């Protein structure tokens, strides 16, 4: 399946994308994660994107488009993908439409995650990330003392909580304004193409996942079954053959996905960890959650 998740910052696109990755066996393509990785690596793209990101503004369409074009050219997206954070402007949506037409891979669905503004601000302002292991927490669902009583798997010391540079109050307000101005018009764009489904993205992660699955409907169910049976068949391959069959970038992603899954497993007893490629976010199991994965 080829899916776009639309929604404001804090609406849970990353968390739900990660769940779909596991369920459908297709990769998440998060423009925010790709940009942050470029910033961390100090590439030319990262250097040019950083100022806009820190100010809560959008990175130039041309830079983002080039990055997405390259990513969608990688082999692992041939079976499908989940776009998270892209497109964010009408120009990006039109360029994506042309790109996918050239690739003869049209979108199957666009799901809009609806959350009211007060809840978005609450979710984003509570988000914290461990500076050492990258795991993401939320102070509104996991008290600081509980988080700090857990040891960081990297250092063996308590987690060192930091805030994503663009998660401060001023930048969050700008990101929400930019979303309303530049991204909300995509709802009509995709509605006109018969691709739009809207879900209520408030409530806990499980509830939202259920609504998302319902919105994606039968094709997603079939894809999930196919992904499951592919996983059952996979053990025939030796580790070395499987490794050789994957491009290097796919191996790197698989490795970090495995790490996130392990952290999730560890956390399941008390905290649910959601990773967004960058880092995980956590909520207490069963409670209303903050925006999922790490930013």
Give me the residues that bind ligand ADP (CB under 6 A), please: 9, 31-32, 35, 52-53, 56-59, 64, 85-86, 88, 92, 166, 175, 295
Provide the token pair at 273. Answer: 């960890």
Of 19, 36, 88, 135, catalytic: 88
Q: Residue 150 or residue 293: which is nearer to ligand ADP going by CB?
A: 293
At 168, give phi and psi (nearest 5°): -80, 165
Q: Residue 223 or residue 273: which is nearer to ligand ADP going by CB?
A: 273
For ligand ADP, the nearest residue by Cβ is 32
Active site residue 278: no
Burial of 105 (0-12, 13-18, 19+ CB in 10 A): middle
Of 2, 71, 135, 175, catalytic: 175
Q: Residue 67 or residue 215: which is nearer to ligand ADP going by CB?
A: 67
Give the shortest CB-95-to-ligand ADP separation in angstroms.
11
Active site residue 88: yes
Q: Residue 24 or residue 65: which is nearer to ligand ADP going by CB?
A: 65
Give the shortest CB-31-to-ligand ADP separation in angstroms.
3
Pair 6, 111: CB distance under 8 Å: yes
Give the shortest CB-78-to-ligand ADP separation in angstroms.
22
CB atoms within 10 A of CB 281: 34
Of 19, 23, 123, 127, catalytic: 127
Provide the token pair at 230. Answer: 């592919």
CA distances in angstroms from 189 to 9, 23, 79, 194, 274, listed in the order given = 19, 28, 25, 9, 30
Give the shortest CB-12-to-ligand ADP separation in angstroms.
10
Give the shortest CB-156-to-ligand ADP separation in angstroms.
29
- 219 three-class SS: helix
Q: Residue 221 or residue 257: which is nearer to ligand ADP going by CB?
A: 257
Pair 200, 114: CB distance under 8 Å: yes
Active site residue 144: no
Of 164, 211, 289, 293, catalytic: 164
Q: Is the dihedral of CA 234, 262, 255, 123 positive or negative?
A: positive
Pair 294, 166: CB distance under 8 Å: no
Active site residues: 13, 88, 127, 164, 175
């Amino acid at each position: 399946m080829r899916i776009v998740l639309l929604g404001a910052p804090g609406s849970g696109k990353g968390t739900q994308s990660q769940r779909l990755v596991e369920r459908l066996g297709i990769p998440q393509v998060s423009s925010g994660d790709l940009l942050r990785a470029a910033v961390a690596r100090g590439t030319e793209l990262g250097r040019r994107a950083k100022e806009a990101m820190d100010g809560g503004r959008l990175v130039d369409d041309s830079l983002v488009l080039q990055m997405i074009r390259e990513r969608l050219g990688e082999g692992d997206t041939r079976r499908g993908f989940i776009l998270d954070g892209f497109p964010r402007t009408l120009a990006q949506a039109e360029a994506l439409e042309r790109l996918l037409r050239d690739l003869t891979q049209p979108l199957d669905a666009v799901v809009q995650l609806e959350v009211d503004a007060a809840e978005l601000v609450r979710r984003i302002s509570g988000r914290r990330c461990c500076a050492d292991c990258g795991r993401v927490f939320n102070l509104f669902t996991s008290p600081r003392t509980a988080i700090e009583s857990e040891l960081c798997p990297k250092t063996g010391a308590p987690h060192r909580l930091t805030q994503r540079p663009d998660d401060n109050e001023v930048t969050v307000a700008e990101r929400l304004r930019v979303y309303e101005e530049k991204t909300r018009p995509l709802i009509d764009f995709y509605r006109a193409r018969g691709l739009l489904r809207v879900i209520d993205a408030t409530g806990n992660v499980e509830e939202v996942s259920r609504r998302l699955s319902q919105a994606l409907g039968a094709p997603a169910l079939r894809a999930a079954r196919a992904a499951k049976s592919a996983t059952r068949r996979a053990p025939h391959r030796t580790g070395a053959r499987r490794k050789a069959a994957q491009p290097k970038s796919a191996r790197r992603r698989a490795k970090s996905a495995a790490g996130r899954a392990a952290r999730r497993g560890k956390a399941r007893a008390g905290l649910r960890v959601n990773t967004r490629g960058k880092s995980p976010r956590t909520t207490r199991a069963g409670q209303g959650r903050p925006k999922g994965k790490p930013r």
